[in-house]
Amino acid sequence: MNKNRCAEIIYFLLSTFIICGQALYNGYPLVTNDSGIYILSSFSLIPPIRFPIGYGLFIRIFSWEYTMWMVIYVQALIMNLLIYKAISLAIPTKKNYFIHLSIIIFLVLFSSLGWYSSQLMPDIFTPGIFLIFFILLIKPKLSVLDAFVYLTVLFFFLICQLNNLLTSALSILTFLILLLFRSKVVIDRANAFKRLLLLSTGLICSVIFLMIYQYYNGNGFRLSLEPHVLLAVRLSENGLLRRYLDENSDRLGNQIYQDIKLMPITSHDFFQTNKSHNELMRSSIGEWKRADSLYAPIVYGIMTTPRYLIKYIWENVKGTGIQLYKLNVGDEIRAFRENSLPYLAIKDHLDNDGNEFLHTSQNYGKLKFNTIDFINYFVIGISLILIFWSFFNGRISKSIILLNVICLLGYFYNAVVTTSLIGISSHLQSRISWLLVLDAMIIMYSLIYQTFNLSLLKPARPESDI
Amino acid sequence: MIQGEKAYFNIGTVKAILYFLFSTLIICGPALFNGFPLVFSDSGMYMASSFDLMPRVSRPIGYSIFIRCFSFQRSIWPVMYAQCLIMNFLIFKAITLIVQTKLKYFVHFSIIILLVLLSSLGWYSCQIMPDIFTSGIILIIFIFISDKKLNILSSIVYLFLLVIFIISHYSNIPLTILILLSLFIMILLKPDIFIKLKTAYLRLLFLTFCVGISMLFLMSFNYYHGKGFRMSTTSNVFTSARFAENGILKKYLNDNCGKINNELCNYKDSIPDNVNDFLWSDKALLTKMGYDFSKWESADSILSPIIHNILSSPKYLKFLFWEGIKGTLQQLFKNDIGQGLVAFREKSAPYKEIKYKFSEDETNEFLNSLQNRGLLKFNNINLLNYVVLSFSIMIIFFGWYYEYLNRYAIILTITSMLGIVYNAAIISTLSNIGDRKQARLSWLVVLLALIILYQVVIQIRKVISKKPHTFQS
């Protein structure tokens, strides 16, 4: 291994600590209530209720059943490498390391990146998917090894959350349409089609893997155990479920009607509090299966009746608008003490981490997010201005324009999908918001380099290719 | 070098429409962030009267008509979106009149993002309240007297909007009259600001005509509903409350209760020292006198001679004048954004209106909103707002002093400053001093500062490149 290669590796290993900054500051990786479920599934390797197995596998591989620190370090390292690759493809300069370092420091300080990469949650992988999209669509030459590595990473990202599958499918479809009607977006159209095919392969593999995994565990050849329950919660939240039940109570069993009418009005209440009507159902797969079959005809009725469907679409349009603005960084990061699911999961399986877990800033309730959120909103606003301006600036390279499109699409589709399927939540949107800040930083550096005539190595693509 | 041949985002008509529809979502930001349009305690009354279209005590009908038009009696979201869209367009028009650049969409886009982040714009345009229309009046007056290329259709649209804005809140009537009067005087004293004197006079006449139409409409509306041919049925109640707060009422009653026979004289020793205890609280003086909210029209006739006597007596007028100056200055510094944006739960008027009149489906959304869970905090926002306002005033002064303001920027500056000062004067004299009614206009100062900043950038680029200021080389 030559000296430069060695220095590069050391650089990435060390700079990853910056991205882990929030976990180091906290004293332990950040957790949410769902982290406990993922940790448990990493030991049992049984697909957890509501979530696919992907992140459980990821934890299993990198925790060595010993510590959670390695898990967040590896996820931060992956994100670090992807960010570096995106930067070097968008701004081809010799000063890549300086730009990269300054950008990750800025992102960790002023955006949601650090807070999500330091969380024992698969949310950080959602923006990773869009970075892979960008890299694969813009990279001029892709070796077999490169393709394999990116596909493997994409595969892991996709099997970590079901909504990632839909978001990716929508993005691939959009790019396909974009390539057909506006080929100027990419530099090499034929190559872009091939890359989209590659991405689609990754997506299909992920879907098949998840279905086989469910089948193997005796849950049938399907993606999710309880799709109707999840959708019913969303329908309950926007009032549509109650309306349907009120108007169709005569056709439905009275007991079902009474039970479901008691459903909480927010998904948070439904899944995470003691008020949960489905508290019992949380405990066993059998109960969830029963619940799913209970909700299935209701969800089907709503989705196939134009009157309700129109209302559902309207609610989702509104919801998407609301979701686009839900950017509180610390959503769901609260104190988890001795009786909490994350603590019990860690204590039971990772004896070393138990004490450390309890003595963190998070679990003493010392993490406050008011000022951080305030800065985050402000930085995203300024980032949007820069991104918008780059569309007007004739000197911005096509690679950056493509990055703009991917980041904005990712941000928008994430809002659409999470709103339609899960519910409105800051946690689900701010996980991806730092992509906009990254994009704006890249634009800014690109402009600085042009304005001051600093040497760029070469254009993103030769103009002849364009 | 990274280069591209041309900009990727050329805006045509369809794209321009799409641009406005989508960029309006930025102004809707606080409502989307909140999870529901923001509501104030009076929002319930406006919503209620949008169904029966009957005149309400102390509120003109204009905003209720607006709600009726855009809510389709189903949802309150389109109302908020429509008012944001109107304000978005007015801001765009004002910017393009002043900042002469090819990048007008970018300038507008960046300005609205900054306004939403740094000023009160978003918080008022997302409220189901007519307060945002007061700043709309100022922008319309500016656009109407400055736009050289105004055609008949756009003139009609502007004048129509002006009428809707004026009839939405009683304070908008004297405000518009005072601004127009001042502009008439300004034309006489400093005619060189306006391009064509004759056109300027004519347009001011049209605007004045709109004020007349608005007043006539309100009076006819009240007359039609048996309330007499007058604009407000309870104006004396509010003025009395303000006079109680500044002490004139007590002074008047002490001086005159022996000479006049008025019911209020029986309570002259228990006149409260604030508007709330006079009008709104559970133990309000009017309630003690037997005039609860539904009987304010009767109270108005009791209080009317007192107000008339105070306003026509030089002795009290002098006192009133002094209190007015003090109150105006106090009001000018009241710019807290979140006043009145408290949690409204199941027993509140806004909730009841949404549940029983609009759409029951939206009640979950209403109750789950940050505002109605008491999670909206304004400390940081207000701190930032005051800092930004201070800097904005410095920038405006800088722009004025170093002559960075073109003719249009000067007219907008004058119109906005007049509007802000007159608004403070009217509110502090006739109503109660409070942040809500001043912060509704304060974002205009930030808008002006941002426009001036862009002017400065353009001038600097012009000097550097020695080419016409087009932003693009």
Q: Which residues contact B97 (CB under 8 A, 6 or more apart)?
A: B142, B143, B146, B147, B408, B412
| Region for A256 from its dihedrals, namely left if φ exceeds 0, alpha if ψ lies in -120 to 50, beta otherwise | alpha
| Predicted local distance difference test score (pLDDT) of residue A461 | 43
User: In which residue are the tokens 């609280």 written?
Assistant: B281
Above pLDDT 70, what percent of chain B?
A: 96
Q: How far apart are the first and last CA of chain A?
A: 37
Are the beta carbons of A460 and B2 separated by less than 8 Å? Answer: yes
Is B403 in the A-facing interface, judged by CB distances under 8 Å?
no
Is A377 in the B-facing interface, judged by CB distances under 8 Å?
yes
Structure tokens at B263: 């019911």
- Residues of B within 8 A of A370 (CB-CB) are 377, 380
CB B92 within 8 A of CB B26: no
Angle at A177 between CA A171 and CA A181, to 5 degrees: 145
- Residues of A within 8 A of B77 (CB-CB) are 318
Burial B95-113 (b: 16+ CB within 10 A, else e): bbbbbebebebbbbbbbbb
Is B8 in the A-facing interface, judged by CB distances under 8 Å?
yes
Q: What is the DSSP letter of B232?
A: -
Give burial (CB, 10 Å; 0-12/13-18/19+) of B262: middle
pLDDT tens-digit profile of A213-232?
Answer: 989 988 888 888 778 888 88
pLDDT band at B300 (very low <50, low <70, confident <90, very high): confident
Is B84 in the A-facing interface, judged by CB distances under 8 Å?
no
- Mean pLDDT for B442-466 is 87
- Mean pLDDT for A150-167 is 94
Give burial (CB, 10 Å; 0-12/13-18/19+) of B129: buried
CB B62 within 8 A of CB B166: yes
- Mean pLDDT for B131-159 is 93
* Closest by Cβ to B2, choosing from A370, A384, A395: A395
Instruction: Kindly report the backbone phi and psi dihedral angles of residue A30, in degrees, each rounded to the nearest multiple of 5, phi listed first.
Output: -70, 150
CA-based nearest distance B379→chain A, Å: 10
Q: Return the minimum-mean-pLDDT range out of A388-392, B2-6, B107-111.
A: B2-6
Is residue B178 over pLDDT 90?
Answer: yes
* Residue ranges of A 101-120 with Cβ closer than 8 A to chain B: none
Above pLDDT 70, what percent of chain A?
A: 88
- Residues of B within 8 A of A318 (CB-CB) are 77, 365
Q: Return the minimum-mean-pLDDT range out of A50-54, A260-264, A372-376, B281-285.
A: A260-264
* Closest by Cβ to B109, choosing from A91, A388, A449: A388
Is A444 in the B-facing interface, judged by CB distances under 8 Å?
no
Q: Between residues B344 and B276, which one has the greater pLDDT?
A: B344
- Residues of B within 8 A of A184 (CB-CB) are 8
| Predicted local distance difference test score (pLDDT) of residue A276 | 46
Is residue A254 over pLDDT 80?
Answer: no
pLDDT band at A275 (very low <50, low <70, confident <90, very high): very low
Among A320, A322, A376, which would you mutate to test the B interface (most chain B Cβ atoms within 10 Å of its Cβ)?
A: A322
| Shortest CA distance from A371: residue in chain B | B380
Is residue B395 over pLDDT 60?
Answer: yes
Is B13 in the A-facing interface, judged by CB distances under 8 Å?
no
Is residue A261 over pLDDT 80?
Answer: no
Is residue A253 over pLDDT 60?
Answer: yes
Give burial (CB, 10 Å; 0-12/13-18/19+) of A306: exposed
Are the beta carbons of A456 and B2 separated by less than 8 Å? Answer: yes
* Residue ranges of B 256-295 with Cβ closer than 8 A to chain A: none
CA distance A113 to A372: 12
Are the beta carbons of A374 and B380 separated by less than 8 Å? Answer: yes
Structure tokens at B119: 């000023």
CA distance A281 to A265: 17
Is A378 in the B-facing interface, judged by CB distances under 8 Å?
yes
CB A115 within 8 A of CB A108: no
Is A310 in the B-facing interface, judged by CB distances under 8 Å?
no
| Shortest CA distance from B359: residue in chain A | A239
Are the beta carbons of B116 and A381 separated by less than 8 Å? Answer: yes
Is residue B394 over pLDDT 70?
Answer: yes
| Predicted local distance difference test score (pLDDT) of residue A64 | 86
Q: For chain A, what is the mean pLDDT?
A: 86
pLDDT tens-digit profile of B22-71?
Answer: 999 999 999 999 999 999 988 999 999 999 888 887 789 999 999 999 99
Question: What's at A280, amino acid-wise?
Answer: L
Q: Between residues B305 and A431, which one has the greater pLDDT?
A: A431
Question: Could you tell me the CA-to-CA distances from B29 to A212, A419, B132, B340 in Å, in that order?
Answer: 43, 17, 15, 19
CA-based nearest distance B51→chain A, Å: 22
Is B2 in the A-facing interface, judged by CB distances under 8 Å?
yes
| Predicted local distance difference test score (pLDDT) of residue B384 | 92
* Closest by Cβ to A392, choosing from B5, B103, B364: B103
pLDDT tens-digit profile of A396-454?
Answer: 888 899 999 999 999 999 999 999 888 888 999 999 999 999 999 999 999 888 777 66
- Mean pLDDT for A141-157 is 93
Are the beta carbons of A385 and B114 separated by less than 8 Å? Answer: yes
Are the beta carbons of A381 and B117 separated by less than 8 Å? Answer: yes
Are the beta carbons of B3 and A324 separated by less than 8 Å? Answer: no
Is residue B446 over pLDDT 90?
Answer: yes
CA-based nearest distance B126→chain A, Å: 13
* Closest by Cβ to A395, choosing from B3, B28, B363: B3
Q: Which residues contact A352 (CB under 8 A, 6 or more apart)?
A: A66, A67
Q: Between residues A270 and A39, which one has the greater pLDDT?
A: A39
Are the beta carbons of B365 and A321 separated by less than 8 Å? Answer: no
Is B40 in the A-facing interface, judged by CB distances under 8 Å?
no
3-state secondary structure at position B38? strand
* Closest by Cβ to B361, choosing from A243, A395, A463: A243
3-state secondary structure chain A: CCHHHHHHHHHHHHHHHHHCHHHHHHCCCECCHHHHHHHHHHHHCCCCCCCCCHHHHHHHHHHCCCCCHHHHHHHHHHHHHHHHHHHHHHCCCCCHHHHHHHHHHHHHHHCCHHHHHCECCHHHHHHHHHHHHHHHHHCCCCCHHHHHHHHHHHHHHHCCCHHHHHHHHHHHHHHHHHHHHCHHHCCCHHHHHHHHHHHHHHHHHHHHHHHHHHHHCCCCCCCCCCHHHHHHHHHHHCCHHHHHHHHHCCCCCHHHHHHHHCCCCCHHHHHHCCCCCCCHHHCCHHHHHHHHHHHHHHHHHHHHCHHHHHHHHHHHHHHHHHHHCCCCCCCCCCCCCCCCHHHHHHHHHCCCHHHHHHCCCHHHCCCCCHHHHHHHHHHHHHHHHHHHHHHHCCCCCHHHHHHHHHHHHHHHHHHHHHHHHCCCCHHHHHHHHHHHHHHHHHHHHHHHHHHCCCCCCCCCCCCCCC
pLDDT band at A80 (very low <50, low <70, confident <90, very high): very high
Is residue B185 over pLDDT 80?
Answer: yes
Confirm whether the ipTM is greater than 0.85.
no
| Shortest CA distance from B28: residue in chain A | A321
- Residues of B within 8 A of A395 (CB-CB) are 2-4
CA-based nearest distance A152→chain B, Å: 32
Are the beta carbons of A381 and B360 separated by less than 8 Å? Answer: no
pLDDT band at A257 (very low <50, low <70, confident <90, very high): low
| Predicted local distance difference test score (pLDDT) of residue A414 | 96
Is B10 in the A-facing interface, judged by CB distances under 8 Å?
no
- How many residue pairs bridge chain A and chain B with CB atoms within 8 Å of each other? 97
CA-based nearest distance B394→chain A, Å: 22
- Residues of A within 8 A of B103 (CB-CB) are 392
Q: Return the minimum-mean-pLDDT range out of A182-191, A201-210, B217-226.
A: A182-191
* Closest by Cβ to B113, choosing from A324, A384, A395: A384
Q: Which helix (H) or strand (E) holds B152?
A: helix B152-166
Q: Between residues A85 and B465, which one has the greater pLDDT?
A: A85
Is residue A6 over pLDDT 60?
Answer: yes
Q: What is the DSSP letter of B59?
A: B
Are the beta carbons of A239 and B365 separated by less than 8 Å? Answer: yes
* Closest by Cβ to B113, choosing from A322, A326, A381: A381
Is residue B445 over pLDDT 80?
Answer: yes
CA distance B414 to B405: 11
* Closest by Cβ to A322, choosing from B9, B32, B116: B32
Q: For chain B, what is the mean pLDDT?
A: 88
Q: What is the CA B436 to chain-centroid distance, rounded?
A: 9
Are the beta carbons of A321 and B380 separated by less than 8 Å? Answer: no
CA distance A70 to A48: 22
| Predicted local distance difference test score (pLDDT) of residue A424 | 86
The pTM is what? 0.85
Q: Between residues B318 and A276, which one has the greater pLDDT?
A: B318
| Shortest CA distance from A236: residue in chain B | B364
Is A456 in the B-facing interface, judged by CB distances under 8 Å?
yes
